[in-house]
Every structure is written in C-alpha cells, then in structure tokens.
Amino acid sequence: MTPLNITEWQSLQRHYSDLKYASMREEFALDSGRFDRFTIRCSDLLLDYSKNRITKETIEKLIALANAVDMSGWIERMFSGEAINNTEGRAVLHTALRNRSNAPVMVNGKDVMPAVNAVLAQMKTFCNQVHNGDWLGFSGKKITDVVNVGIGGSDLGPAMICDAIEPYGIEGLSVHFVSNVDGTDLSTTLDKLNPETTLFVIASKTFTTQETLTNAESARSWFLKSASQQDVAKHFVAVSTNAEAVAAFGIDTDNMFEIWDWVGGRYSLWSAIGLPIALYAGMENFERLLDGAHEMDNHFRHQPLTENMPVIMGLLGVWYINFFGSQTQAIVPYDHSLARFPSHMQQLDMESNGKVTNRTGQRISYKTGPVIWGTPGTNGQHAYFQLIHQGTQLIPVDFVLPVNSHYPDVDHQSILLANGLAQSEALMKGKNAEEVRAELVKEGLEGEALEALLPHKVFPGNRPSNTLIFAKLTPEMLGKLVALYEHKVFVQGAIWNINSFDQWGVELGKQLAKAILPDLKEGADISTHDSSTTSLINLIKELRFN
Ligand code: G6Q
C-alpha cells in the first residue's frame, strides 16, 4: 500500500495547490479565534500550532488521511503488544515500561507487567543502597560518581534526561556518560575520578556492541590498577537482555538489570537503561518521569485524533515533508538544560523513520523522515536562524518554552522567553517591502542607498512553527515531552506505511567496522577494498607504524 494512491492524499495534494500561497499573516488578521482553534492541551502542556500554513480544512483533510491509514487501529496495535515491528517479529512496548496503571499488557499470551515491576523494584533497592551508603566501594567509601558506558539508545536518552533534571540531582553524586570508542572520551572522564568511589553501569541491550565492550574493558583495566578482581562486583553493574554475555564479561548477574527485546534502543530510557537517571536524581524522580510519559500515552491512546497532540504534530510534519517538500525539522528548546534534547530527538526520529522500504518490502517513492536538528535558543539565533528566516528552504521549527526557570534570575528568563516568542512571530509575519521602507526612511536613508539596501532587509515570513509551552521543566513534563515526540514519530511511520522500529542502517555500521579492523593491523599493504578505501587503509598503516 502506498499513501500516494489514497484518495485523501490526493485530496491534500489539490488542497496544497490552492493553499500554497496563502498567507498566515492574513489568516491571523481575519480570524481572531485562530489561536483557540489551533491549540491542544495535555494537562499542563500546551501545543500552539496556529502558526502553521493550515486552515480548518487542512486539518480536516489531514485527519481524513490519518483515518484512511487506520491510525487509531495502529495506536491500539502498538499499546496492546502486537508484533508491529514486523521485520524483527517483535512487539513495541516502551509504553508498558511506564504503564503506571499496571493494567496487564500481553506479549505472546504473557503479561509483561510483573517483570517490568520487578526490575523497577530492583532499581529502587539498588539506588537506595547507593544513596544511603549500604552499597559501598571496595575500600568502604560511598559511591560519588556513576559512569554510564553505552552508546546510541543506551546513552543519548539517559544523558539528555540527566542534563535536563540537574536541579533534581542528589547531592554528592555525579553522573558521567562515556559512549565514543575514541579513547579520549573514556580517558578524559576517568582522569577526574577515583576508582574507590566510582560505579560503572555497562548499558548494552545486546552486550555485543564493539564500542561499549571496548570502553567497558578499558574501564575495568583502569579499575583493576587500584583494586582486585573480587572488587569488580561492587563497581560494575550491567543493563542488558544478554545474561550470558554479561557473565562472560565478568559481571555478577545478580548485578544485572534486565531489559527485553520489545524495547527498542532509542525507546529504552524508561527501562533499566534509565538506571543512571535513577542513580543521579533518585528513583522517585525517575518514577515522576514515567508518570509524565504515561499521561502522554493515555492522551495519545484515548483522545480523538483532532485533539491528539502527537497525531496533529505528526500530520503537520507530513504536510510539510510530502506536500511543501521540506527536508528538515528544527527543534529549538529555549532552555539551556535541554541542550541534548535535539540530539535525542535526532536519533529517535531519523533512526525510526529514515526508511526507503515500506512494511511489505517495496521501495517507496515518497519522502519519509526529515533531518532533525537544533540547539538551544537563544544561541541558535546568532548562528543558523538566518537561513530559517531568509534562506530558500522551508524549515518548520518546534519552539519548546518552559515559562519558569529552576534558577533564580527572573530577568534572564523574561529575556529568554521574549526571544523565543519574537522568533516565532517574526517567522510567521516576516517583514514586507513597505515595512522595511518605512524603517529605512526613519533611519534617514533615501534614494539609491535606500533602494539598494531594501531587498536585503525583506523577510518573506509565512514560515511555520509549533510552540510547546509549559510552566516548568519538571521530571513529569520531561517525560511527557519525550513521549510526545516518540508518538509523533509513530504517527508519521503509520502514514508512510513503514516499520519505525527496526534500524538496519545502524546494524550495517556495526558489521562494517568489524570487517575493516583486521586490515588496519601492522603488516604488508592490503588491496582488497575499492581503491579509495584500500588507499586510505594503507595510508593509515604508514602513518601509524612507519
Ligand atoms: C537504537 C539503536 C542503537 C543502539 C546502539 C547500542 O535504537 O538500535 O542506537 O541503541 O547501537 O546498542 P546496544 O544497547 O545493544 O549496545
């Protein structure tokens, strides 16, 4: 099935032709109810999507498209544990990890909730022991530093959350993330640490990932310079599906926290992969994160499509990608502590929907996932916003705006918020030639000089954005926000008829490096690859060994 053949898609195509020159500025001028019409709340989170190139009819047509692909059916299939990850034959149940209602969720006839709850209880006991000093390092000292060793889904989510909930961090305990196999990452982290008070969390769903195992082995060697083999049990714990490999590495499986194959890496921060979060900010705050995500899950599962935040955000993305031809989506949080939020979203979206094959294996001819990028405001304004305002591409922006800061300076926060709002307003309104002319005249410019400068100062406007606004970045709100984007990605995958839950492109990377590694050993030149790769390998050997 291709969405291009769906009547509702074709109807949207015609609608696009009618609407492509319509001006948001005019729509706002004509309709004072536009904000009310185009906002959705999920309790204390508000999405304002009024600054988009849409009319009431656009939304009706997008919803009709969602109905035509059986969006509600797909949502239900995911929540109820059907094996919708068809290429790996797996259910997709990150929602069960934060199923605070505890209602049974069945996979192959078995309720997964008892196992989910058992691991949460194990995490709680362990975190409490570390926090209250019942779990001590080999020399009897309290743990002061946690190093998470993991990569991709076993790193980005927990690292982003730990940054974002810094105000909730437990005093006396720091958390560090080592992901890159570039030895600089591990070395510069360990340089600051004391082995007597450092706990390593080796986080790998498969426990076969080269980068993570290499870093874990080097971390253990570093540790063993100061301690003995029997001390490893007090300083190394693992999160994995693979007990055998964990034991083979030398970690006591009593110190292993289980995850399951129905949790995708990029959706795993809600599982024991979130252990560094719970260690950093306490299990109570980790559970608050789960509570917020669960609230968004309920919203997604039960709200009608027209009032459903992930559905509307997903459909707006489809509108720009498939009809306006947008290729990228910026996510710009006006919160310094969300600096890593766009990176997590980048993996979530690009790994899930970066696909050119549909569910049934046919190559597809329409655009799927966009390039996701962004950095915190206001910094981005002084860098790439130029292109968003005056470049030749249409780049939809999500502005993420917490109203209150955790930090005391009210003046900073007002300036930050004013900037965020000003950007979305300017993108929508632009600045036309008459307005620029009036400004230049006021500045005393006239004649040729005025005419020469004028076109450069015109802003086309009509550039779309969403604003997500909330009172404060609490753990619950963070959970809600991440779950919102997870479901948005799911909505788009359903429209495009792709499996958003496999990642063969990532698997390819894992195989390729393993094949080249032996060729880099000292010895005679090799000639087994294409001329570029062969020459680069031989150059590397020359530079390393001669
Ligand atoms: C995520 C991806 C990928 C994965 C890493 C780490 O969805 O599959 O980013 O998380 O490759 O894998 P392991 O956790 O198995 O080490």
Residues serving a catalytic function are: 351, 382, 510
Which of 206, 240, 348, 506, when mutated, tests ligand 1's pocket best, judged by the most ligand atoms within 8 Å of its CB? 506
- How many residues does the structure list for the chain? 546
The tens digit of pLDDT for each residue in 33-64 reads 999 999 999 999 999 999 999 999 999 999 99
What sign does the CA torsion over 209, 215, 217, 220 have? negative
Is 480 near ligand 1, meaning CB less than 6 Å away? no
DSSP 3-state of 42: strand
- Reading the block at residue 106, the tokens are 């069945």
For ligand 1, what atom is nearest to the CA of residue 510?
11
Task: Give me the pLDDT at residue 125, please.
Answer: 98
Distance from Cα 119 to the centre of ligand 1, integer Å: 20
For the residues 375-398, what does the mean pLDDT come to? 96
Confidence of residue 481 (pLDDT cuts 50, 70, 90): very high
Contact in structure between 349 and 162 (CB atoms under 8 Å): no
CA distances from 311 to 35, 84, 146, 317 (A): 18, 18, 38, 10
For ligand 1, what atom is nearest to the CA of residue 152?
9
Q: For residue 338, is pLDDT > 90?
A: yes
- Reading the block at residue 310, the tokens are 């992930």
Contact in structure between 312 and 466 (CB atoms under 8 Å): no
Task: Give me the pLDDT at residue 427, please.
Answer: 98
Is 158 near ligand 1, meaning CB less than 6 Å away? no
For the residues 324-333, what does the mean pLDDT come to? 98
For ligand 1, what atom is nearest to the CA of residue 153?
10
400 CB burial (10 A radius; 0-12, 13-18, 19+): buried
Task: Give me the pLDDT at residue 142, please.
Answer: 98
Is 264 near ligand 1, meaning CB less than 6 Å away? yes
The correct CATH number of 3-68+303-429+463-502 out of 3.20.20.70, 3.40.50.1220, 3.30.1490.100, 3.40.50.10490 is 3.40.50.10490
In one letter, which amino acid is 454? L
Is 206 near ligand 1, meaning CB less than 6 Å away? yes
Is 329 near ligand 1, meaning CB less than 6 Å away? no
Place of tokens 């036309």: 432
**Which residues are bridge partners to 258 per DSSP?**
240
Pick from 9, 47, 165: which is nearest to 488 by CA? 47
Is 240 near ligand 1, meaning CB less than 6 Å away? no
Distance from Cα 349 to the centre of ligand 1, integer Å: 14
DSSP 3-state of 404: strand
Distance from Cα 188 to the centre of ligand 1, integer Å: 23
Which of 92, 154, 259, 514, when mutated, tests ligand 1's pocket best, judged by the most ligand atoms within 8 Å of its CB? 154
Q: b/e map of 27-56 (b: 16 or more CB within 10 Å)?
A: bbeeeeebeeebbbebeebbbbbbbbbbbe
Distance CA 135, CA 272 (A): 18
Q: For residue 546, is pLDDT > 90?
A: no
DSSP 3-state of 223: helix
Distance from Cα 231 to the centre of ligand 1, integer Å: 28
Q: For residue 381, is pLDDT > 90?
A: yes
For the residues 194-218, what does the mean pLDDT come to? 97
Domain boundaries, the chain: 3-68+303-429+463-502, 106-287, 505-545
Task: Give me the pLDDT at residue 47, please.
Answer: 98
Distance from Cα 152 to the centre of ligand 1, integer Å: 5
Confidence of residue 511 (pLDDT cuts 50, 70, 90): confident
Is 245 near ligand 1, meaning CB less than 6 Å away? no
Total Cβ atoms within 10 A of residue 222? 17
For the residues 315-338, what does the mean pLDDT come to? 98
Do 3-68+303-429+463-502 and 106-287 share a fold?
yes
Q: Before 392, cis peptide (omega within 30)?
A: no
Assigned fold of 106-287: Rossmann fold (3.40.50)
Distance CA 120, CA 124 (A): 6
Contact in structure between 195 and 222 (CB atoms under 8 Å): yes
For the residues 389-400, what does the mean pLDDT come to? 98
Q: What are phi and psi of 192, to 5 degrees?
A: -90, -5
Contact in structure between 234 and 137 (CB atoms under 8 Å): yes
Helix axes 156-164, 475-496, angle to 10 degrees: 140
Q: For residue 514, is pLDDT > 90?
A: no
DSSP 3-state of 146: strand
Distance CA 298, CA 318 (A): 23
Distance from Cα 153 to the centre of ligand 1, integer Å: 5
Place of tokens 């060729």: 519
Is 211 near ligand 1, meaning CB less than 6 Å away? no
For ligand 1, what atom is nearest to the CA of residue 150?
16
What sign does the CA torsion over 238, 244, 245, 248 have? positive
Confidence of residue 11 (pLDDT cuts 50, 70, 90): very high
Task: Give me the pLDDT at residue 363, please.
Answer: 97
> Given its phi and psi angles, is residue 374 left (phi above 0), alpha (psi -120 to 50 degrees) or beta?
left
Distance from Cα 257 to the centre of ligand 1, integer Å: 16
**Shortest-distance Cα residue to atom 1 of ligand 1:** 265
Q: For residue 515, is pLDDT > 90?
A: no
Is 209 near ligand 1, meaning CB less than 6 Å away? yes
Q: For residue 1, is pLDDT > 90?
A: no
Distance from Cα 521 to the centre of ligand 1, integer Å: 27
DSSP-assigned letters across all residues of 459-486: B-----EEEEEEEE--HHHHHHHHHHHH
DSSP 3-state of 488: helix
Q: What are phi and psi of 173, to 5 degrees?
A: -130, 125
**Shortest-distance Cα residue to atom 11 of ligand 1:** 152
Q: What are phi and psi of 281, to 5 degrees?
A: -120, 5
Q: For residue 32, is pLDDT > 90?
A: yes
Pick from 177, 180, 199: which is nearest to 257 by CA? 199
- Reading the block at residue 216, the tokens are 């874990």
Confidence of residue 343 (pLDDT cuts 50, 70, 90): very high
Which of 90, 207, 242, 266, when mutated, tests ligand 1's pocket best, judged by the most ligand atoms within 8 Å of its CB? 266
Contact in structure between 347 and 266 (CB atoms under 8 Å): yes
**Shortest-distance Cα residue to atom 10 of ligand 1:** 153
Is 212 near ligand 1, meaning CB less than 6 Å away? yes
Distance from Cα 445 to the centre of ligand 1, integer Å: 59
Mean pLDDT across the chain, nearest whole number?
97
In one letter, which amino acid is 14? R
Contact in structure between 151 and 209 (CB atoms under 8 Å): yes
Show the CA angle centred on residue 154, arms to residues 148 and 156, nearest 5°: 90
Confidence of residue 409 (pLDDT cuts 50, 70, 90): confident
Confidence of residue 341 (pLDDT cuts 50, 70, 90): very high
Task: Give me the pLDDT at residue 510, please.
Answer: 83
Distance from Cα 532 to the centre of ligand 1, integer Å: 29
Which of 206, 214, 258, 259, when mutated, tests ligand 1's pocket best, judged by the most ligand atoms within 8 Å of its CB? 206
**Shortest-distance Cα residue to atom 5 of ligand 1:** 152
Confidence of residue 509 (pLDDT cuts 50, 70, 90): confident
Task: Give me the pLDDT at residue 168, please.
Answer: 98
CA distances from 17 to 12, 21, 394 (A): 9, 8, 16
What contacts 359, CB < 8 A, 6 or more positions away?
86, 497, 498, 499
For the residues 507-511, what does the mean pLDDT come to? 86
- Reading the block at residue 75, the tokens are 């949502």
Q: For residue 452, is pLDDT > 90?
A: yes
Total Cβ atoms within 10 A of residue 15? 19
Task: Give me the pLDDT at residue 268, please.
Answer: 98
Which of 271, 503, 507, when mutated, tests ligand 1's pocket best, judged by the most ligand atoms within 8 Å of its CB? 503
**Shortest-distance Cα residue to atom 8 of ligand 1:** 265
